[in-house]
Amino acid sequence: MAGDPVSWFEIEPGWRVDGLDGGELGSVEEVLGDQREDIFDGLAVVGGLGGLAHYVPAEQVTSITSDGRITVSIDRDTFERLPEPGRR
């Protein structure tokens, strides 16, 4: 059963990130943004064991739920071509 929708303020490292097809892309390494100004920039998401982090822009996030899952509007191929967080 899916969790309830929550704000980006609730996201924690380790939360699962699922792609467009529902398959797991990876997990959150870091939330990128400014909480004081309520500006959600995106996520640093690590895919697979020992994988590099990829920058997923906030515009690609379609849902964030209380069960620790985030859904994004990209597929695995697109995810793997995203830049590292510091190279956007």
In the chain, where the domains are located: 8-87
End-to-end CA distance of the chain: give it in Å, rounded: 35
Q: Summarize pLDDT for 20-72 with one digit per residue, the tens.
A: 989 999 999 999 999 999 999 999 999 876 688 999 999 999 999 999 999 99
Assigned CATH topology for domain 8-87: Photosynthetic Reaction Center; Chain H, domain 2 (3.90.50)
**Predicted local distance difference test score (pLDDT) of residue 1:** 57
**Predicted local distance difference test score (pLDDT) of residue 84:** 92
